[in-house]
Structure formats: C-alpha cells, structure tokens
Amino acid sequence: MKILPKNKQAWLRLLSLPFKTYVLGYGLLYPVWLFSMPGRPGTIGGPDYTIIEKYAVGYFISFLALIIIAIIQALTKDRKDAVWTVVFAVLALFFAATGTLHPSFR
C-alpha cells in the first residue's frame, strides 16, 4: 500500500486536500448551524455571527492557497485537476464573502 504520492501532480492534489475539505466541510455545516440557533438575527437570543467572520478568514486563506495550487496545476498540464481546484477556490470566495456580509443578508 502506497501512502505518499510519487509524482508532482499527485503531490499537488494531496496539498489541496485540506483546503478543499475546509471549503466543503463548513459549507455543509453552515445551514445546520444557522437553523439550530434560536430567534432571528439581531434580536436577543439570535444567532451569534462573530464565529462566521472567523471562518471567513479561513475561507480567504483557502481561496489564496487553492488559486496558487490551480495555477501550478495548470502550468504542469494537469488541466482537469486545475479546473476542479478553481471551482473550490470560487466556492471558498463565495463562502468568505457571504460570511462577512451584514447578518440581514443571510
């Protein structure tokens, strides 16, 4: 059983895995968290949105890392993985932008 990758493309896929997991993991958990909070945003007992702003910083970091990895993948002629990495980067940017917007928008 081989655990470590053997070529550059496989190493880039392995390097992008934590960032892609962060994007999908919190993206799927956010609606569950939102509906578990009592009340409406901006009211006493409403959701605390400060935690979302902390996760948004992680999304900006993930966006930058994924864009850099996608550029390297495109330069190494690994186009299919580069396209998927860009898709995850766009998702990270979307989640970061909606996480930092005013609570009434959510």
DSSP 41: T
Give the burial class of 36: count Cβ atoms within 10 A of its Cβ; 0-12 exposed, 13-18 middle, 19 or more buried.
Answer: exposed
Give the burial class of 32: count Cβ atoms within 10 A of its Cβ; 0-12 exposed, 13-18 middle, 19 or more buried.
Answer: exposed
Check whether 9 has a pLDDT greater than 90: no
Per-residue pLDDT tens over the stretch 62-87: 899 999 989 988 998 888 889 999 99
- pTM of the model as a whole: 0.73
